[in-house]
Structure 1
Amino acid sequence: MTAPVPSNPYDAVVVGGGPAGLQAALTLGRMHRRTLLLDSGEYRNAPAEHLHNFVTRDGTPPAEFRAAARAELAAYATVTVRETAASAVVQDGAGFRVELGAGGAHGPETLAARAMVLATGMRDTLPAIPGLEPLFGTVAAVCPYCHGHELSGKHVAVLGSGPHVARVAFLLERIASRLTVLTDGAGLEPGIRAQLDGAEVAVRPEPVKELSRSATGATVSFAEGPDEEVGGVFVAAGFAQRAPFAEQLGLRMLASGAAEIDAMGRTSVPGVFAAGDMAHTAALPMPMASVLTAASSGLVAAAALDGDLLASDHPN
């Protein structure tokens, strides 16, 4: 049986407790909006030991960043944080119904909201290479801007065969002492191979059998040929929506798999805003997956939400 919907809806329910959701809740709290932040405890950067490329927070452990943000939110009386996951978000008249499957000690629960901020993020999908997943977030990474500097002066591998591999390698050529592209049995386009050869980037075409942690970073074992000792590995991971709410609400999606938003974080469904790497504008080829840009998008989406509620409460 569905729990009754409260008659006093929140101004906003923010789904997601990463940097985008935390910043959205802070912005709404500062404007005295009655706000609920739902935090499932799952974070895309959970495997990472430190976050980087965020001024004043470079090198901060992600858990420490979240704890500091939670402490700041506690100062705002209109913001409530609950460590639980939403199970469904449904349009309900001019607002929304948010269903909590567990609902804490009281069983299933249904909440009402005038507007939503979805900040549930993406889930990385890695190549099916034994040993890669345990290294992901430490020795293995996806973003040179986030994790490249820490491999200064080391032998770095780039795993993949698509058009991105040359770009990633060239982003790292000023950082790494040596670069090797691992195509894992796939071929490279002739133009890409020529670029790599011209830059004296080594290419190992053999299928990768396994990655394992080593004293210097990782050992790459191949189906044939000698092992490679590397300080780190950059991999082209795929990604998909971490939560089902974009699909449940029928949001317009982009080819990247992210929800489409306008410059202010509005989705195709009025009253639903999206922030962080689960969404981006059509002008961008992909989400900007960094802590700083996620937090920035949370602020923008929350400010737009506040403005839309203001326009609704005080129409011309």
Structure 2
Amino acid sequence: MKSQDGAERNRKELIVYDAIIIGGGPAGLQAALTLGRMHRRTLLLDSGAYRNATVRHAHNLLTNDGRDPAELRRIARTEIAAYDTVQIRDALASAVERDGDAVTVTVDDERLRTHAVILATGMADELPPIPGLAERWGDTVANCPFCHGHEFAGRPVAVVNASPHAAVLVRMLEPVASAVHVVDPADVREVVDAPTGLRLVRTAGDPLDVAGAFVAPTWRPRGDLLGRIGVEFQETGAVRTDPSGRTSVEGVYAVGDIAHPDHLPGPMFSLAAAILGGQLAAVAVVHSLAAS
């Protein structure tokens, strides 16, 4: 019996971290803060790639409406630095694997063992191939009316989207904008700056001047960690999770833009939702550690 107890103790001692968080956006940072406050040994890996990297003003976030997302990350890191059980490392994880009663993460040719991994790697957006569109993404070209709609209030906007879902977006924007124009991406030859904000140079007809344009990008999970570890996906393309971020792989959680909990119609692309997801997953990890 003593030898079994010793083997169990040695196996647990091999688990270097209580949690490893992959991703340094709002979801990952909130998870790190919550774990730090519970004195859990935590490593956050930040590749430096962020979905909102081109955005200069984040909106619809209580007490921080309009703040630069880079400043939000800087403030979060400063706050987390007060908790000495949390380490932040600017590095890219190359592999995540389930290994017996633990999970291993490979980073810089080093294999680290942990009780749990919280994946907060985010999404990557692919825009329609319209010249000038990508250069204005996150400014006069946006996706989310909750995050960017008010900035065009009282002025005309364009919805560059041939999808049937465009009608819903139009109705959402009608109380905000003075006019909403629906434009097929195939009819836009180029997007340039204009005194009003944005000019859509069309293949036929006069250019359309608007304050801004809304575009529905094609999105995909960033990197290839998710497919390699074998987590289950929803039909939306996001990772299937329970309300606390647990995936189909034991000890692996997914939060932020990549997560689609079963109780929601789709992933929630917002800073507030990402922060909530990071906190819920961290709480679930703490409960799991306490029960083990």
TM-score, normalising length from structure 1? 0.86
1:256 touches 1:285 (CA, 8 Å); kept in 2? no
1:155-194 equivalences in 2 (<5 Å): 155-185=156-186
Letter in 1 for 2:154: G
Equivalent residue in structure 2 for 1:46, among 42, 53, 56? 53
Which residue of 1 is the match for residue 210 of structure 2?
230
Report whether the alignment pairs 1:259 with 2:254: no
Equivalent residue in structure 1 for 2:74, among 59, 67, 74? 67
Give the whole-Å Cα distance in 2 for the aligned partners of 1:249 and 1:283: 23
Which residue of 1 is the match for residue 200 of structure 2?
220
Report whether the alignment pairs 1:34 with 2:41: yes
Report whether the alignment pairs 1:93 with 2:117: no
Which residue of 2 is the match for residue 271 of structure 1?
251
SS in 2 for 1:268: coil
1:209-262 Cα deviation digits (max 9, x unpaired): 111122321110111110011110001111101021211110010011100000
SS in 2 for 1:29: helix
Which residue of 2 is the match for residue 193 of structure 1?
none
Shift of residue 8, structure 1, vs aligned partner: 4.8
Which residue of 1 is the match for residue 31 of structure 2?
24
SS in 2 for 1:45: coil
1:38 touches 1:81 (CA, 8 Å); kept in 2? yes
Question: Following TM superposition, where does structure 1 have runs of at least 4 consecutive aligned residues deviating by more than 6 angstroms?
Answer: none
TM-score, normalising length from structure 2? 0.93
Letter in 1 for 2:136: L
Letter in 1 for 2:184: T
SS in 2 for 1:87: strand
Give the whole-Å Cα distance in 2 for the aligned partners of 1:310 and 1:8: 15
Which residue of 1 is the match for residue 115 of structure 2?
114
Letter in 2 for 1:117: I
Give the whole-Å Cα distance in 1 for the aligned partners of 2:41 and 2:115: 10
Which residue of 1 is the match for residue 17 of structure 2?
10
Report whether the alignment pairs 1:298 with 2:266: no
Give the whole-Å Cα distance in 1 for the aligned partners of 2:282 and 2:20: 11
SS in 1 for 2:151: helix
| Root mean square deviation of aligned Cα | 1.2
1:256-287 Cα deviation digits (max 9, x unpaired): 11000001111111101111010111232321
Contiguous gaps of at least 5 residues in structure 1: 1-5, 186-206
Give the whole-Å Cα distance in 2 for the aligned partners of 1:142 and 1:294: 17
Letter in 2 for 1:238: T
Give the whole-Å Cα distance in 1 for the aligned partners of 2:15 and 2:221: 30
2:243 touches 2:262 (CA, 8 Å); kept in 1? no
1:145-160 equivalences in 2 (<5 Å): 145-160=146-161
Give the whole-Å Cα distance in 2 for the aligned partners of 1:110 and 1:214: 52
1:60-111 Cα deviation digits (max 9, x unpaired): 10000000000000000100000111111111111111111xx3xxxx2221
Contiguous gaps of at least 5 residues in structure 2: 1-12
Give the whole-Å Cα distance in 2 for the aligned partners of 1:142 and 1:286: 16
1:28 touches 1:35 (CA, 8 Å); kept in 2? yes
1:54 touches 1:291 (CA, 8 Å); kept in 2? yes
1:148 touches 1:175 (CA, 8 Å); kept in 2? yes
Letter in 2 for 1:241: P
